[in-house]
Amino acid sequence: MTFELSKEFAVELQRAVDKQDNVFIKNTLEGVNSADITETLEEFSSEDSRYVLSLLDVEIGAEVISDLDDDTLKKFLKIYSPQEISEYIEVMDSDDAVDILNEMSTDIREEIITALSNQEKIDHILDLMRYAEDVAGGLMAKELIKANVNWTIEQTIEEIRRQGENVTQIYSVYVVDNYNTLLGKVSLRKILLAKDGTKIKDVYTDEVISVQTNEEEEEVVSVMKKYDLEAIPVINMRGKLMGRITIDDVVDVMAEQAEEERQLMSGISEDVEEDDSIWLLTRARIPWLVIGLIGSFFGAELIGQFEDQIVLIPILASFIPLITATGGNVAIQSSSMIVQSLATKSVFQDSNLKRLLKVIAVALLNGLLLSLLAFTFSYILRHNFEVSIVVATSLTCVVLLASLSGTITPIILDKLGINPAAASGPFITTANDLLGLAVYFLVAYFML
């Protein structure tokens, strides 16, 4: 029967924790995926979560702790001693272990590492801590299966048994020379089907895609998506095999990138969660709100410059929301398309000139269609031919200009090394509100 996480289950588990019903807790969580346990315990207090984990195998506990989000993890680890944390670190993959150690102060981190009994694990952790978190070296794990090119099949199988004790998932066996230089890879299928006495050099393939330790995480994601890889080896500048990055680590990076872009597009300037403090949430939101407020004042001042025209033809004021909303929507659509295109970084991507020509063509077509609808509804509702012409003409110009600004702004930000997703938020909507108002009143001024 498939386990189903529900509110009722969480309440029942909480009741068992309160009663310290160890038998129920063990039986209930037996065979449950660690990710489901993590999701359940994130709703519990740190003390209750610790109590539940104390009843489970250390390996399961390590997986649960590895899956906790950063904020919950920081709170959770405060109630553990360095010795207790080291017991979980001992059975974790090296990359997950380093992620947790990076949340600690230097003193506690050293205590935990000192408490570890596995010297190979210590060496792996110290090696990984040299790399920044946002490069391939910071994403990789040291645990992998490798075979010397001169080994026989029998030697390789024996090494797979030995090395495999520390590797959770085996995707490929990487082939190296006597100096640990990556030469290629060989599948488990080829190893199992090869005759006794066959050497690895006779069955491996030298076609292997790898990344260097200093490669940016965005590039790692791009490579693994492009070639549909479940794991990718990491080498240093001299070609030596240093570790591997698995698909679960890449999915985490993709989720972080998507969250960052979503927050930028929403006008949130910091990485925050719903349960963060009121001050932190306010600080993250207020910058773009202030910019929007200032933009609105400029908009009010711009409308004020045409006060005489509005007094003479009051009906002009009723179409201001139509102009600003349409311009903002068009700009967001255009910028979102460009941001998505820039994220793929395809070598077959259209040139900037070709993009602009396509944007102009689409904008003209959209502008004409929207203008026709606007003219029709305006004339039906207001019975004023001249004003309807002004609205339709203004809308065509606004759609064209908003499309161009929504296209150009992300490209410029990308060239400047700024996340282009910032162009899809309040910045571009505020700018296009001002642009739309200016175009609308200038058209009205000259035509009426």
Tens-place pLDDT, residues 204-236: 999 999 999 999 998 999 899 889 999 999 999
Which tokens sit at 83? Answer: 């010795």
pLDDT band at 448 (very low <50, low <70, confident <90, very high): confident
What does each C-alpha distance from 20 to 15, 50, 373, 376 come to in angstroms?
Answer: 8, 12, 68, 71
Same domain, 331 and 251: no
d(CA 136, CA 214): 6
Per-chain mean pLDDT for the chain: 85
Given this model, what pLDDT does residue 147 score?
A: 94
Domain boundary residue, one of 255, 270, 297: 255
CA atoms within 13 A on the CB side of 269: 13
List phi, psi (to 5°) of 7. Answer: -65, -40
- Asked whether residue 197 is domain-assigned, the answer is yes
Given this model, what pLDDT does residue 1 score?
A: 45
Same domain, 197 and 331: no
Q: pLDDT digits over 64-114, tens only?
A: 998 888 778 888 888 899 999 999 999 998 999 998 998 888 899 999 999
Given this model, what pLDDT does residue 347 score?
A: 42
pLDDT of 388 above 70: yes
Same domain, 61 and 17: yes
- Asked whether residue 262 is domain-assigned, the answer is no
pLDDT over 90 for what percent of the chain?
35
CATH of the domain at 307: 1.10.357.20
Judge whether 84 and 108 are in contact, CB under 8 Å.
no
Strand order in the sheet with 146-148: 146-148, 173-176, 182-186
Same domain, 127 and 150: no
Same domain, 123 and 166: no
Same domain, 407 and 330: yes
177 or 441, which is more confident = 177
- Amino acid type, 365: L
Name the domain count of the chain. Answer: 3
Same domain, 79 and 34: yes
Which residue range(s) make up the domain with 200?
146-255
The SS3 assignment for 10 reads helix
Same domain, 293 and 412: yes
Same domain, 239 and 314: no
Same domain, 299 and 250: no
Q: pLDDT digits over 176-194, tens only?
A: 999 999 999 999 889 989 9
Q: pLDDT digits over 317-357, tens only?
A: 888 888 888 888 888 788 777 777 766 654 445 566 777 78
Given this model, what pLDDT does residue 3 score?
A: 55
- Amino acid type, 420: P
Given this model, what pLDDT does residue 124 score?
A: 92
368 or 336, which is more confident = 368
Q: What is the pTM of this model?
A: 0.69
- Asked whether residue 16 is domain-assigned, the answer is yes
Tokens 């506690």, residue located = 108
Number of Cβ within a 10 Å radius of residue 103: 14
- Asked whether residue 168 is domain-assigned, the answer is yes
Q: CA 141, 144, 147 angle in degrees (round to 5)?
A: 145
Q: What interhelical angle do 119-128 and 106-115 show, nearest 10?
A: 150
Judge whether 380 and 308 are in contact, CB under 8 Å.
no
Same domain, 118 and 160: no
